[in-house]
Amino acid sequence: MDKMVFVNLPVSDMQRSIKFYEALGFKQNKDFSDDNGSGMMWDDNIWVMLLTHDFYNSFLKDHQLADTKVVNGAMTAFSMDSIEAVKQFAQTAKDNGGDFYHVELDIPEDQMYELEVVDPDGNMLSASWMNMG
């Protein structure tokens, strides 16, 4: 069996979040979606699981759900095929209720280019392209 990655994100408005991630190119897998969560496929092996706050909390035991608009505990990076694809991903996020910004990494853009993307709930994504040639 192939390895898979599931990134679980707490969301406050499921339909808004589904629409946001679909705009970014994710596809909803209805077999793994219900009122508590939605499986959003980046590809066959990488998924974002959008979970309601109540459902997400059920996994936390002694931890408290962070207010991701002011506290960050993780940033998930997605590789893109080009610098233009990074810019398009970020702009699509902004056009659909999210935002993005650039962090200067002192790495030449022809080697690596990255934009930090924030979804409507404050969850952090990173869109990046690296010259692997």
Q: Residue 112's domain spans which residues?
A: 74-133
Q: Point out which residues pair with 11 in neighbouring strands.
A: 52
Give the number of domains in the chain: 2
Interatomic CA distance for residues 19 and 84, integer angstroms: 22
pLDDT of 23 strictly over 80? yes
Q: What confidence tens digit (pLDDT) does each residue in 62-111 have? A: 999 999 999 988 999 999 999 999 999 999 999 999 999 999 989 999 99
Q: What is the CATH number of the domain that holds 82?
A: 3.10.180.10
Which of 127, 92, 123 is closest to 113 using CA atoms?
Answer: 127
What three-state secondary structure class fits 55?
Answer: helix
The pTM score is 0.91
Enter the tokens of residue 47: 């998924």
Average confidence (pLDDT) over 21-43: 97
pLDDT score for 2: 84
Over residues 38-71, the pLDDT tens digits come to 999 999 999 999 999 999 999 999 999 999 999 9
pLDDT at 133: 78
pLDDT reported for residue 6: 95
Last residue of a domain, one of 12, 29, 60: 60
Portion of the chain with pLDDT greater than 70, in percent:
100
